[in-house]
């Protein structure tokens, strides 16, 4: 039964992407690419969830991050001492600031080292070329999709700052959609401490391709080789001179530190806000909390992903929490209140949560682009709600595919 519901749900989400299309007629030219992209998503899902090779790859990545987190904990323990262990023997565990957020500083530094050694640029280039071949979009869009998953939603636009003035509106929108549909490698370790690593990796991979599925339906266009080359003529790496190794380390450490405490501030604010809203709604609506209301609103969409109806309210609550707050808050809630949910439901919800698609992201992306190019910042601001809608559909597509495979 869940297979039939999942197929119908997948078609429903594709329809929801096509209805507000900027050029419905042009979608016909992208149907072949949409089918190919969906086939790749199903192939990746099957590989990571159902094969020994996929399980081994997930294990290698997870073990690698476990080692990184262990190294990071040594630095955290040196600075904070016994505070790291406070609460470790209670049911809630050690404070999230130390166990989940502080490792972001070290992971950010490792990313900086790989960037400095030219490892990440090579990965971005070759994966971007492969993605361009599959998606049928330009190299700018494809490189951006890969870079966003590594550098982050704000940092990726810095790497493209020379290209921004040359990009027409539709291509700029696709870049923003990719940035909102993915997550940053610097906080993967934090995600893996809250949800299963395989769903983190699967969510990243599926969303990377899913963003082009939604873009093909909602924002279809073609890019010629000449147009792509013309934009790429402004090479982004030609802006800055060489940076010393230790200068780079300092920059990335400080970036990681700002990210960690920014996430901490967001957690404090949003979880407190959720608690207040839950209290207000419970007082006004005879015990019904805000999250329960969000669960009712998102329940039909959760059901479309293949989640059983009797679990749809609970799953919809996590999905709604992510939209109005952020993915870390929702993952934290899921890790604390997953009792009674089936393994498939947890797989679907976990995959859905792996993206930056929430209201606060609109401001983050608009602000990042506006500081680099005022005109393009205005473009993203004008498309803000449509971009959030699109990125949310990307998450639903990925979650539905996992529901069909799990």
pLDDT tens for each residue of the chain, 406 residues long = 789 999 999 999 999 999 999 998 889 989 999 999 999 999 999 999 999 999 999 999 999 988 888 898 899 888 888 776 654 444 445 577 777 788 888 888 988 898 888 888 888 888 888 999 999 898 899 988 998 888 778 778 877 888 888 899 999 999 999 999 988 887 888 899 899 999 999 999 999 999 999 999 999 998 888 888 878 776 544 444 567 899 989 988 988 888 888 878 877 888 888 889 889 999 998 888 888 898 899 999 999 999 999 999 999 999 999 998 889 889 999 998 888 899 999 999 999 999 999 888 888 888 888 888 999 999 999 999 999 999 999 999 999 999 999 8
Give the C-alpha separation, 281 to 26, whole Å: 45
Give the C-alpha separation, 390 to 397, whole Å: 11
Give the C-alpha separation, 33 to 21, whole Å: 16
Give the C-alpha separation, 369 to 157, whole Å: 7
Largest CA distance in the chain: 63
Q: What size, in residues, is the chain?
A: 406
Q: What does R_g of the chain's alpha carbons equal in angstroms?
A: 21
Task: Please provide the DSSP assignment of 138-181 as one string.
Answer: -HHHHHHHHHHHHH-TTHHHHHTTTTGGG--HHHHHHHHHHHHH
Structure tokens at 125: 């280039």
371: Cβ contacts below 8 Å, ≥ 6 apart: 377
Q: Is 354 helix (H, G, I), strand (E, B) or coil?
A: coil
Q: Which residue has 């494809």 as its token pair?
A: 142
Give the C-alpha separation, 149 to 129, whole Å: 15
Among positive and negative, which fits the CA dihedral 79, 83, 84, 85?
positive
Structure tokens at 202: 């699967």
Burial of 163-177, coded b for 16+ CB within 10 Å and e otherwise, reads bbeebebbbbbbbbb
Neighbours of 321 (CB within 10 A): 27
Query: Which stretches within 337-406 are classed as H helix?
Result: 343-353, 359-372, 374-382, 384-405
Q: Which residue has 């990009």 as its token pair?
A: 167
Give the C-alpha separation, 75 to 106, whole Å: 9
């Amino acid at each position: 039964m869940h297979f039939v519901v999942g197929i119908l749900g997948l078609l429903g989400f594709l329809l929801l992407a096509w209805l507000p299309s900027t050029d419905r007629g042009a979608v016909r030219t992208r149907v072949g690419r949409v089918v190919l992209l969906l086939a790749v998503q199903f192939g990746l899902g099957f590989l990571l969830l159902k094969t020994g090779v996929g399980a081994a790859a997930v294990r290698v990545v997870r073990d690698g991050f476990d080692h990184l987190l262990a190294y990071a904990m040594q630095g955290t323990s040196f600075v904070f001492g016994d505070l790291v262990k406070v609460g470790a023997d209670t049911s809630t565990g050690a404070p999230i600031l130390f166990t989940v957020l502080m490792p972001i500083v070290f992971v950010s530094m490792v990313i900086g080292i790989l960037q400095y050694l030219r490892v990440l640029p090579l990965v971005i280039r070759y994966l971007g070329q492969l993605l361009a071949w599959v998606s049928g979009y330009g190299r700018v869009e494809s490189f951006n999709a890969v870079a966003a998953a590594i550098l982050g939603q704000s940092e990726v636009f810095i790497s493209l700052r020379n290209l921004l003035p040359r990009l027409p509106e539709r291509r700029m929108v696709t870049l923003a959609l990719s940035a909102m549909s993915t997550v940053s490698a610097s906080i993967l370790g934090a995600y893996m401490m809250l949800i299963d690593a395989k769903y983190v990796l699967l969510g990243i991979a599926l969303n990377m391709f899913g963003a082009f599925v939604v873009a093909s339906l909602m924002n279809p266009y073609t890019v010629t080789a000449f147009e792509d080359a013309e934009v790429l003529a402004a090479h982004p790496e030609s802006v800055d001179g060489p940076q010393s190794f230790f200068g780079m380390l300092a920059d990335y450490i400080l970036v990681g530190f700002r990210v960690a405490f920014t996430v901490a501030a967001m957690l404090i604010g949003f979880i407190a806000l959720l608690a207040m809203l839950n209290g207000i709604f419970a007082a006004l609506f005879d015990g019904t909390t805000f999250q329960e209301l969000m669960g009712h609103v998102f329940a039909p969409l959760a059901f479309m992903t293949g989640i059983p109806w009797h679990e749809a309210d609970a799953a919809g609550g996590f999905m709604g929490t992510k939209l109005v707050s952020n993915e870390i808050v929702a993952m934290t809630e899921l890790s604390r209140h997953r009792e009674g949910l089936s393994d498939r439901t947890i797989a679907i919800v976990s995959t859905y949560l792996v993206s930056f698609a929430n209201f606060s992201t609109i401001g983050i992306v608009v602000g990042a682009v506006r500081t680099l190019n005022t005109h393009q910042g205005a473009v993203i601001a004008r498309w803000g709600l449509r971009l959030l809608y699109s990125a949310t559909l990307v998450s639903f597509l990925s979650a539905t595919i996992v529901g069909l495979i799990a």
